[in-house]
Chain A
Amino acid sequence: MVLTEPITRPAAGEVTIRDLFKSFTLNGRRLDVLRGIDLQVRGGEAIAIVGPSGCGKTTLLRVLAGLEDPDRGDVLIDGAPVHGIGNQRAVIFQEPRLLPWLTVTQNVAFGLEVRGTDRIKAAEKARHYIRLVGLGGFEEAYPCQLSGGMAQRVGIARALTVQPEILLLDEPLGALDAMTKLTMQEELSRIWREEGVTMILVTHDLEEAIYLADRVLVMSKDSGTPTRLIDLDLPRPRDRSAPVFVALRRRLMAEFGLH
């Protein structure tokens, strides 16, 4: 292993969430989705957010991405409060969200081009990240020629190409088949180590959370139960069948009343 110790990027990619509130009105009823969330994420850390459907984990991620404004509370990145969308963050969605009229290279370069990098430079960088996600040779393919897993890799490469400090992932592997999912989890883990980014991952999959994260934020649906933070003190790379791993999975499942 080349990278056994965590990459230290002082302060870069540090996220602070302070007393965050967000509610929606649905059919005339007020739904308090986020109720005073506090969270401190170190630069380069991997955090997984889990919870039942409707607990607000996606909303929290969308607030962090700047796609939604909170009703109250602050999001600070590297100590400075942020509002709206910013260059420090990149989002990977559940669907690859590729532009079907662009080739793989053009799709991966899209984010950079939108941010003002010139075409040639953007394409050069895009090719680097295409190789990093294991899609070398598919540079000129169109999205409709790719399988689901490959398309998601393109989406991941596009987010990495803009070299964000913080990677926000909204159930990125949720739509993939079981086999592809396992491979992609390994890839995500490797990419996270190599790039040294802060990773905030929303997932349904408890095993995925334990495999990828340093800490897990467990959100709940009912207002009585507060959110909990669980430290995953496991060596990396993680072994899914190690006793500690299995014990942690059992403990997390117990959090959801599953045994």
Chain B
Amino acid sequence: MTLETLETPALSAPPARVVAARLAQAGRSGFARYGLLAGFLILWQVGSTQGWLNATVFPPLDLIFAALWDGLASGALIDDIAISLQRSGLAFAAAVVLGIPLGLFMGQIRAVEHALDPILQFFRQTSALALYPVFILLLGLGEASKVFVIFWATLFPVLLATIGGVKEVDRKLIEMARTYGATRGTVFRRVVLPASVPSIFVGLRLSATTALLLLIAAEMIGANRGLGFQVMNAQYNFQIPLMFAAIFLLALLGLAANFTLVTLQRRLCRWAEAN
């Protein structure tokens, strides 16, 4: 009989030697994880200042961070971040609000899924960017078409992952619940829904990545504000440090979105990683 035992917290303050050992341990694991990234950044900086790299295409990091700081301090980049967040956030929220309930419904009722699957697969395989001109014709060049194209591409990962999650719920667990007299609603609430949460999260993370990808594409094609536009615009005006600053912010946005979802998933699916 085994059960995970939690480390009991030390009551008295640990001696300095132990603290030093722990710090060394933390340092080693930190180096193992972030050492390569740090090496890459150092190589960039040194390569650019020493002339190993073309400094006009790869400006030194300090110039990029200066451009980033200027953009943030003057508020110009803040505006871009805000509008980009608004576009991708709205689209993502709409995809989640529509995709999860629709997926839960489709996964439960075979006939519905059977009838809707071909058209879904067809839509999914049609590149959202190819459809962007159509959305512009329908919705104009304003915010609506941008949000819609992002929404379109973002919807499918979460929808398909939800359908898959519901369909893959262990039939034996459903049968078990039924032997206790559980109604359809109870089975859904107490078995199907919690069992689908992990795959829904896989879909959410894919959707979040897609949302940022489409955001940049949409802003590059037809916008005059936003981080995607800023990347393009800075390149046209040959403000390469600013271009990299915008790219850096986009990467940061992606990391933040993923971090938020992973944290939320850990909270909700603690049972899945308890061992």
Query: Do A and B originate from a single complex?
Result: yes
Knowing A67-B175, A93-B176, the reply to whether A114 touches B271 (Cβ < 8 A) is no
The answer to whether B179 and A144 touch across the interface, beta carbons within 8 angstroms, is: no
- A contacts, CB < 8 Å to B: 65-67, 85-87, 89-91, 93, 95, 97, 99-102, 110-111, 114-115, 138, 141-145, 147, 150, 162
Pick the most buried of A89, A99, A145: most chain B CB atoms within 10 A of its CB.
A99
Chain B: interface secondary structure?
helix
The answer to whether A65 and B271 touch across the interface, beta carbons within 8 angstroms, is: no
Which of A67, A85, A142 lies in contact with B271, CB distance below 8 A? A142
CA gap between A144 and B4 in the complex, in Å? 11
Which chain B residues in 170-199 approach chain A with CB under 8 Å?
172-173, 175-182, 186, 190-191, 194-195, 197
Which chain B residues in 19-54 approach chain A with CB under 8 Å?
none
Instruction: Indicate whether B1 reaches chain A with its CB closer than 8 angstroms.
Output: yes
Chain A: interface secondary structure?
loop
The answer to whether A95 and B172 touch across the interface, beta carbons within 8 angstroms, is: yes
A interface footprint on B183-219 (CB within 8 Å = 1, 0 otherwise): 0001000110011010000000000000000000000
Pick the most buried of A101, A102, A143: most chain B CB atoms within 10 A of its CB.
A101
Knowing A100-B272, A101-B194, the reply to whether A110 touches B180 (Cβ < 8 A) is yes
The answer to whether A150 and B194 touch across the interface, beta carbons within 8 angstroms, is: no
Which of A90, A99, A144, A162 lies in contact with B275, CB distance below 8 A? A144
Interchain nearest-CB distance for B184 vs A (Å): 12
Chain B residue total in the interface (Cβ 8 A): 25
Pick the most buried of A102, A111, A141, A147: most chain B CB atoms within 10 A of its CB.
A111
The answer to whether A65 and B1 touch across the interface, beta carbons within 8 angstroms, is: no
Instruction: Indicate whether B125 reaches chain A with its CB closer than 8 angstroms.
Output: no
Which of B2, B3, B194, B269 lies in contact with A99, CB distance below 8 A? B194
Interchain nearest-CB distance for A106 vs B (Å): 10
- B contacts, CB < 8 Å to A: 1-4, 172-173, 175-182, 186, 190-191, 194-195, 197, 269, 271-272, 274-275
The answer to whether B179 and A85 touch across the interface, beta carbons within 8 angstroms, is: yes
The answer to whether A114 and B3 touch across the interface, beta carbons within 8 angstroms, is: no
B175 neighbours in A (Cβ, 8 Å): 67, 97
30 contacts between A and B (CB under 8 A): A67-B178, A67-B179, A85-B178, A89-B179, A90-B179, A91-B176, A91-B179, A93-B176, A97-B173, A99-B190, A99-B191, A99-B195, A100-B271, A100-B272, A101-B194, A101-B195, A101-B197, A102-B271, A110-B177, A110-B180, A110-B190, A114-B177, A114-B181, A115-B180, A142-B274, A143-B271, A144-B271, A145-B3, A145-B275, A162-B180
The answer to whether B181 and A85 touch across the interface, beta carbons within 8 angstroms, is: yes
CA gap between A143 and B130 in the complex, in Å? 48
Interchain nearest-CB distance for A197 vs B (Å): 15
Interchain nearest-CB distance for B188 vs A (Å): 12
The answer to whether B274 and A144 touch across the interface, beta carbons within 8 angstroms, is: yes
Interchain nearest-CB distance for A135 vs B (Å): 9
CA gap between A162 and B182 in the complex, in Å? 13
Interchain nearest-CB distance for A28 vs B (Å): 23
Interchain nearest-CB distance for B62 vs A (Å): 49
The answer to whether A87 and B191 touch across the interface, beta carbons within 8 angstroms, is: no
Nearest first, the 4 closest Cβ-Cβ pairs linking A and B are A111-B180, A97-B176, A101-B271, A114-B180
Which of A85, A87, A111, A141 lies in contact with B3, CB distance below 8 A? A141
The answer to whether A87 and B172 touch across the interface, beta carbons within 8 angstroms, is: no
The answer to whether A99 and B181 touch across the interface, beta carbons within 8 angstroms, is: no
